[in-house]
A and B are shown apart, each in its own frame.
Chain A
Amino acid sequence: MILDMNDNVLAVENLTVIKNNHKILENISFDVEKGDTVAIIGPNGAGKTTLFKALLNLIPYQGKIVWMPNVKIGYVPQKLYVDKDVPLTTYEFFNLKEKNRSRIKEAMAAVGLTEAVNHEHNVEKHILQNRLGVLSGGELQRVLIAWALLGDPDILLFDEPTSGVDIVGEETIYVMLDRLKVAKNMTILLISHELEIVYEHATKVVCINKERVCFGPPRKVLTKESIEALYGEEVGYYGHEHRQHHENP
């Protein structure tokens, strides 16, 4: 089958990932159109992060992953283990990708790290000249998004934005992503646990639990049946908060 790439940023066909003779992902197919916000959902251990790694070509896989020609991908990892005493300032972290100071400031402003919003914490002293390892969870998440935004990506791959972490300013991370998507003319592919948020912000959803369970607009495909098939029967409609019961699906 020839993949139709007209308006597609990404097309995935029959993706299978095997690790240590163990199938992590099996026959996953979906596509991402320009301007989509696609949410990948599924219980813990469903292979969501593995899917991202395959998309980024970091691990071996079978099947087809076709990106739009010359696509620029911005990647925001889920966690970053940066020790407090790793001698790397946030500014130096940005420098790994971009030397131009005004472009760095621009990317930071796009994620709400501006002097105006953060009047009590001066951006320069508190964030840029501080060690990466001492930033708060919310600050680090914004810094990572800003880092991904450097180089003007066509698509942002975001592994689990956490809406709960101490947000700087008023807007939540999801409202911010919506705003960035429009402002930067981007496509967004994100992993999420939060079903309400997926409803509100995603144009399409890919539900996976090793295999693909559903794919399509959230209001259409996120039915009681598909959610039960995904998370297990006893889970209610918004069962994502109890995901610790489903560590081993």
Chain B
Amino acid sequence: MIQSNLLFLIIVGSFVAASSAYIGSIMVLKRMSLVGDALSHVALPGMAIAISFNLSPILGGFVALVIAVFGIWYLEEHSETYPDAIVGLFFTTSLAIGVLITDQPDLLEALFGNIEKINFTEGFITILISIVLLTTAVFLTSKITASLISEELAKSSGINTRLVNLIYLLTVGAVVALGIRFVGTLLTGALVIVPAVSARNIARGMRSYNLMSILFGVVSAFFGIAIANYKGFMVGPIVVLVSIAIYVLTFVVKLLPLKLNRQRY
């Protein structure tokens, strides 16, 4: 019984990790790594408000995220430089308010995740959403990459960069909502960023970069959940620490056979 439960946890966790890592790999390229982190903080007051109205906390969190995504989208489209300081200000405010209005027992779970308590239906829905998000992101990748290389080049080849950007940001919001259940609002950012920066250390092309991000995300989830379960630790922090360990490893690989690495892939 415990074994099959653990296996289920690992499968759900791996799907969430894979979609977070893939979407995160684009985020890192867009130089908006901290947006995922900031977004996760916004979810907290949304969850608290939903709980006090007897609604599903995930739904409340998601609504708050969608609102925040439109805010970020607006700022991105309407200002020359990305105003990260304002975003930081707004999101830390949300965190502060969220912590104040969330009940103590719920707070710890919201901050660090509670995937251990996930039931079969929730887990199944989580897997489905992960697949949808991953597919959407894969479909968007080439369009986003083109606009990363040059906004003009992308627009002149008929890509609606505004729309692509909005859809992408919505997938970020959704993946953050999934991540909160998994590792909590404080650590969701790591789920999104760390596999991508690890992959960036050693990947040469976009394809290997995206695939390695997913691989590192899944490996972190797998070993993180297994270790946490075995030792009786909280899942979220362990998953994040495993992914950090992978980062350190890739960093060493990047430094060691310098020449070899640059020529291959």
Contacts and interface: CB of A to CB of B under 8 A. Distances in A.
A184 interface: no
Interface in B178-215: 199-200, 203-209
Contacts of A85: 200
Contacts of B203: 87
Contacts of B200: 85, 87
A131 B146 CA distance: 15
A73 B152 CA distance: 13
A80 B149 contact: yes
Interface stretch (A91-99, A113-121, A220-228): A91-99
B205 A88 contact: yes
A86 interface: yes
Nearest to B146: A96
B142 interface: yes
Contacts, number: 59
A65 B260 CA distance: 52
Nearest to B196: A87
Contacts of B155: 56-58
A56 B206 contact: no
Contacts of A80: 149-150, 153
Interface in A59-107: 73, 75, 77, 80, 82, 85-89, 91-93, 95-97
Nearest to B154: A96
B81 to A, nearest CB: 14
Nearest to A147: B153
A132 interface: yes
Contacts of B142: 95-96
Contacts of A93: 149
A95 B205 CA distance: 12
Interface size class of A (residues with CB under 8 A): 20 to 34
Nearest to A133: B149
Interface in A20-71: 53, 56-58
A75 B156 CA distance: 7
A97 B158 CA distance: 11
Contact of A87 (B149, B153, B156, B209): B209
A249 B203 CA distance: 46
Interface of A: 53, 56-58, 73, 75, 77, 80, 82, 85-89, 91-93, 95-97, 129, 131-132, 147
Interface of B: 29, 142, 145-146, 148-150, 152-153, 155-157, 199-200, 203-209, 265
In order of increasing CB-CB distance, the 6 nearest A-B pairs are A87-B209, A89-B205, A75-B156, A87-B203, A56-B156, A96-B146
Given A87-B209, A92-B206, 9 more contacts: A56-B155, A85-B200, A87-B204, A91-B205, A97-B157, A131-B204, A131-B205, A132-B149, A147-B153
